[in-house]
Structure 1
Amino acid sequence: MTDLTHSVDADRALKAKHRAMWASGNYPELASDLISSLGPVLVEAVGVRQGDRVLDIAAGSGNASIPAALAGGTVIASDLTPELFDEGRRQAAERGVELEWREADAEALPFADGEFDVVISCIGVMFAPHHRVAADELLRVCRQGGRIGLLSWTPGGFVGQMLATMKPYAAAPPPGAEPPPLWGDERHVRALLGDRVNGVELTTGTVTIDRFATPDEFRQYFASHYGPTIAAYRNVGDDPERTAALDADLVALAERYDQGSDGGLVLEWEYLLLTARR
C-alpha cells in the first residue's frame, strides 16, 4: 500500500467516524434547545440579502441556513452528516422556506471556485479536523468580493473548556488534527485566512444557557444528546472508575461556570464571530 493510498483510507475512516459521532444522540434537538439564537446572529452580521447565493458549511439541521433563506438567500446547507437534514427539512417547511441540503465534507467541498456570494458556518467548520484545508476550501468557493461569516466557540469559554475536560476520556485524535476551539482564537483564525480576506471584523459574544436545573442535569443531557460527549463516554464505558471521573469532571465544570443566583444553573457560553470580505 502506498503512502497516498494509506492517507486516503485513513481520511475516509476518520470522516466516517466523525459522521457517526454527530449522528449519535440528538444534535438537532440540542441546537433547537440551546443555541437557536446563534444562526440569526451570524446571518445578520454577514448581511445576507435577497438573491445572495449562500453556502452554509457544516450546517447541521440548519441553525444558520434557515435564517439565511428567510433573509432572502438562495441557500445550500451542506454537512458531512446527512442524518441531521431530516429535522432541518421539517423546520424549513414549518417556517415556509426552501433550501437545498447537500452531503459534503468541509475539507473537500463539491462546489466550483467562486460559486457563492456568502459562505457561513455556525459552530460547524470548527469541527473539521484539518483547519488549513477547511479554511482553504471555504475561501475557494467564495467569489472575489463575497462575504464570509464564521461563529465558533472560544478556547477559554464554556464549550471550549468542556471539550478540554472531555479530551482525556476521548479516543486520541489522529495525527494532524487540531482542537476545534482554535477557530475561536483570533490569532489562529486570522492566520488561517491570512491576506486572502479584507475588512475582517471580530467580536466576542455569549449565549445564555438556563434550561438546566442542576449541573448533573446538564451532564445527563449532554451524555444523551451531544456526539462528542457520547463518544467520550463510549470510550471509557468498560471502566467504571473513569466513567465516574468523567461524570464528576463535567459536573464540576458546570459548577465552576454557574452564574445562577436563584438555585437554577445559568451558564454563559462564549463565542467568536468573524466577518470578512474575500
Structure 2
Amino acid sequence: MTNPNTDDAAAADHALKAKHRAMWAQGDYPSIAAELIAGMGPLLVQRSGVGPGQRVLDVAAGTGNASIPAALTGAQVVASDLTPELLEVGRALAAERGVEIEWREADAEQLPFGDGEFDVVLSVVGVMFAPHHRAAADELLRVCRPGGTIGLIAWTPEGFLGHMLAVMKPFMPPLPPGAQPPPLWGTEEHVRELLGDRVEELSAERRELVVDAFASPEEFRDYFKQRYGPTIAAYRAIGDDPDRTAQLDRALADLAREHDRGEGDGVVMDWEFLLVTATRAAGA
C-alpha cells in the first residue's frame, strides 16, 4: 500500500527538478561558461590536487568547466548534470580537446553512483543550485571515498552574483518549501555545517573573478537577460507586466553600475566566490 504523503512529496520533487532542468536549458549557459567563468574549473582542479589515474566526479558539471581540465590531467572523469542539453555541449567540447569523459544525466540530490566510488568530487557553481542543500551535501560525501577530496566553488551572498540573485528574487515565484537559497553555499559557516565532522582539513578561501567583458551596464543586463537561465526565468515570470519588466531592467543595469570599478572604458567587476577543499574523514 502506498503512502499518499510520500507519493505527493515525490511528485512535487519530480516537478521541481523538471523546472530546474528546463531553466538551465534556456538561453545559452554554455557561452557564459566559456566567456566569463572558464578559469574557475582549472583553478578548482588544481587546488583539489586532481592527477593521473584518479577517479573524479564533477557534480552539476554543466558543459564541463571542471570536468575537461580534470580529464586533461589524466584523471578518469565522470561529468553529471541534471540538464542533458548542457551535457551534449560538454561532449562536443571534450571531443575538441581530445579527452574522454563519461557524461551522465543525474540529480545532485540522488547521484547514481556507489558509496566511496570517487577519489575526488568537484562542483563549480553547480551543486549550489540544488534546492535541498543537506541532501546534496550528503550525496557529495557518500560518493567520495574516505581520504578523498571534495572541492567546491560557490558564489558568495555578499558578492556580485549573490547580489544579482537577490535583485531578481522579488520578481520570481517564492522558493518551494524546504528549498534553500543557492548563495548559502558561498558562506563558510553553511558549508562547515553541511559537511560537519564527516570531513577533515576543510579550507575555505574567498576569491574574486575579474569580469571585464561588457562595454556598459546595459550590455551586461541584456547578455544575462538572453543567456542565463535564472534571469530568463525572472523575466518570464513578469512577462505580462511591462512596468515590472522595466523595473527589473533598471535594477540589473544599476547593479552592474554599482559594482563597476572601471574608469570609463568598459565595465570592470569583481565577482566574489568561495573556494572550499576538504578531505573525507575516515570512518565517517
TM-score category (smaller protein): over 0.9
Quote the residue 1:111 is aligned against.
Answer: 113
Q: Indicate the residue corresponding to 1:141 in structure 2.
A: 143
RMSD over aligned Cα, in angstroms?
0.7
Match of 1:266 among 268, 273, 279: 268
Give 1:89 shift. 1.3
**What do residues 179-232 of structure 1 show as CA deviations (whole Å, max 9, x unaligned)?**
000000010000000000001111111111111000000000000000000000
Aligned to 1:100, what secondary structure does the other structure show? strand
**Runs of at least 5 residues in structure 1 that lack an aligned partner in the other structure:** none
Which residue is 1:184 aligned to?
Answer: 186
So what's the TM-score if we normalise by structure 1? Answer: 0.99
1-side partners of 2:89 and 2:130: how far apart?
A: 22
In structure 2, what is the equivalent of residue 224 of structure 1? 226
Q: Aligned to 2:79, what secondary structure does the other structure show? A: strand
Residue-by-residue CA offset, 1:241-266 (whole Å, 9 max, x unaligned) = 00000001001100110010133101
Distance 1:263 1:51 in 2: 46
Extract unaligned runs of 5+ from structure 2. none
AA paired with 2:92? R
CA distance in 1, matches of 2:84, 2:208: 28
Please give the residue correspondences for 1:14-93 in structure 2 after superposition, counting only pairs within 5 Å: 14-93=16-95
> 1:183 corresponds to which letter in structure 2?
W
Structure 1 residue 94, shift from structure 2 partner: 1.2
Aligned to 1:12: 14
SS at the partner of 1:252?
helix
User: How far, CA to CA, are the matches of 1:113 and 1:166 in structure 2?
Assistant: 38
Identity of aligned pairs, percent? Answer: 64
Question: Segments of 4+ in structure 1 off by > 2 A?
Answer: none
> Which residue is 2:169 aligned to?
167
Deviation at 1:156, TM superposition (A): 0.2
Structure 2 residue identity aligned to 1:265: V
Moved more, 5-14 or 203-212: 203-212
Q: Which moved more, 1:1-10 or 1:217-226?
A: 1-10
**TM-score between the two structures when normalised by the length of structure 2:** 0.97
Q: What amino acid maps onto 2:81 in structure 1?
A: D
Deviation at 1:86, TM superposition (A): 1.9
Q: What amino acid is aligned across from residue 57 of structure 1 in structure 2?
A: V
Determine which of 91, 94, 97 is the counterpart of 1:95.
97
Q: Deviations over 1:7-59 (max 9, x none)?
A: 00000000000000000000011110100000000000000010000000000
